[in-house]
Amino acid sequence: MFIILFDNSFRKKLFPFTATRAVADIRMGIVTIKERWERLINQKVFIRTEDYLQGLYEPCNEKDIISIDATVLPDEDLIDQILSLDNDTALADETGLIAGKKSNNLTAYKNIVDTRVTRLEYPWQLFQWNDEWLRKDFAMITKERTSQQISSTNFIQSSENIFIEEGASLEYTFINANDGPVYIGKNAVVSEGAMIRGSFALLDNGLVKMGAKIVGATTIGPHCTVSGEIKNSILFGYSNKGHDGYLGDSVIGEWCNLGAGTSNSNVKNSAGDVKVWNAFDVKFHTVGQKCGAFIGDYSRFSINSCINTGSFVGVACSAFGNGLLPKVINDFTFGTDKQYLFDKAIRDINNWKKMKHQKLSDEQVDVLKYIFDNLKK
């Protein structure tokens, strides 16, 4: 039986991140949603998403499948329920289908069982729930495994809550895991003088530069470079916050760059509730007292940029300007109000990718062209 994580019409609630990826490729905690399901069920998982994104993923043309809504967050009881489904039966809640098992894609579900689940609905939930999922993922990944030895040059508290993968390097650092676990991925580097308080994850080939100050719950994705002050934030992968400046209560996509001195606000001067733009229902949502920025893939900020509280920044932007930047910056924006020409944007993205020995695939260019062609004029 093949497992497929599928996207539905609500995927747009998770923009800007699902503009360039399926829901299952979102990272929260240590792993992506897809990776979490694969680890928990010990089986390869396929993805079904919007047509313009499907070329990024391996197809699954099998008839015997279990389909699972990718926004549903797994636990052991739910997994048992799903794997125990009879053919042509499904689980559902008031939102819709949770999971269903079919032996033939043409047949309808004969029996639907109501159950309750936790769904990822909005981007602010990513940093709000990151601590919980960091702890769950840490337990899952490190179960019955032994950490690499921690060098005696480091100042460590609660070493039993720290796990170091093979090839990782950390010397003369300060790591406090009293309040949450700390995970350091393969070939990652934590440089001298860096100060980290859990919960925290640095994924494979990531770099924490000298003197960085990082407070949980923070996830630094693979091949990211970070420095300055970071609190309760997620960087998906291949992104840079390589210099001084503050990043808090924020989520950053892939291949983003925050110029030197760039900082975001995560609290209003009034200490009132923060409102964030959402593309699904085209309105602002009240999300709580603390909220930073949501920055889509391939977007970059000039040095000393001032990112406003509760900012929504789209895909493939080159943002710069005086004072606080606008709270909503649409896809392919150059500066704050001009359109980024497509060919120039692609050229610039590939220039950044060259720094990490990569380039845009044809499929990724097609995705970006689709987004560009569908910009609201």
Q: Are residues 87 and 136 in the same domain?
A: no
* Among 105, 112, 151, 115, residue whose Cα is nearest residue 4: 105
Q: Are residues 54 and 80 in the same domain?
A: yes
Q: Are residues 16 and 146 in the same domain?
A: no
Q: Are residues 138 and 278 in the same domain?
A: yes
Residue pLDDT, tens place only, 118-161: 999 999 999 999 999 999 999 999 999 999 999 999 999 999 99
Name the residue range of residue 56's domain.
Answer: 2-121
Q: Are residues 235 and 89 in the same domain?
A: no
Q: Are residues 152 and 116 in the same domain?
A: no
* Among 233, 256, 235, 238, residue whose Cα is nearest residue 316: 256
pLDDT tier at 253 (50, 70, 90 boundaries)? Answer: very high
Q: What is the pLDDT of the chain when averaged over all its residues? A: 95
Check which CATH number belongs to the domain holding 31 and give it: 3.90.550
pTM score, two decimals? Answer: 0.95
Neighbours of 96 (CB within 10 A): 11
Residue pLDDT, tens place only, 63-74: 788 999 999 999
Cα-Cα end-to-end distance for the chain: 45
Contacts of 198 (CB under 8 A, 6+ apart): 134, 161, 175, 176, 177, 178, 179, 180, 181, 182, 216
Q: Are residues 196 and 309 in the same domain?
A: yes
Q: Are residues 251 and 337 in the same domain?
A: yes
Q: Are residues 318 and 169 in the same domain?
A: yes
Residue 114 Ramachandran class (φ > 0 left, ψ -120 to 50 alpha, else beta): beta
Instruction: Domain count for the chain, please give it.
Output: 2
* Among 206, 248, 250, residue whose Cα is nearest residue 229: 248
Report pLDDT for 63: 76
Instruction: Decide: 363 and 353 in contact? Cβ < 8 Å.
Output: no
Report pLDDT for 105: 63
Report pLDDT for 226: 98
Q: Are residues 184 and 265 in the same domain?
A: yes
* Among 277, 266, 261, residue whose Cα is nearest residue 233: 266
Q: Are residues 143 and 73 in the same domain?
A: no
Check which CATH number belongs to the domain holding 192 and give it: 2.160.10.10
